Amino acid sequence: EELLERARSIYEGEIDFKGQAFAEFITHALLSLVGAIAFLAGFIAQDIYTTLYIGLGGTALTFLLVAPPWPIFNKHPLPWLPSTTGRRA
């Protein structure tokens, strides 16, 4: 039962607000770092393809780290009120 619930939460993609801020920070930091590394490597090698490949590889790595709803992004879930569907006021 616990394994099924964990798989369901991963599939549904629940990320809390602090997790969203952390994912945004990771995205900005990695893309900035990869951009600088790609530029320097391309400048040193005097090859635009080196810059392009390093930049694309870093972007793909960033996507794999940030896009899936990893459990680290849901460490501070907000408690929601129970549903009032079906009750009349």
Work out the pLDDT band at 3, boundaries 50, 70, 90: confident
Mean pLDDT of 42-51: 97
- Higher model confidence: residue 27 or residue 89? 27
**Position 37 confidence tier, pLDDT thresholds 50, 70, 90:** very high
Structure-block tokens of residue 82: 């129970």
Q: Which two tokens stand for residue 69?
A: 């709803």
Of residues 60, 53, 68, the one with CA closest to residue 31: 60
How much is the pLDDT for 63?
96
- Would you say residue 22 has pLDDT above 90? yes
- The Cα–Cα gap between 21 and 35 comes to 21
Instruction: Of 24, 29, 27, 15, give the one whose Cα is nearest residue 72.
Output: 15
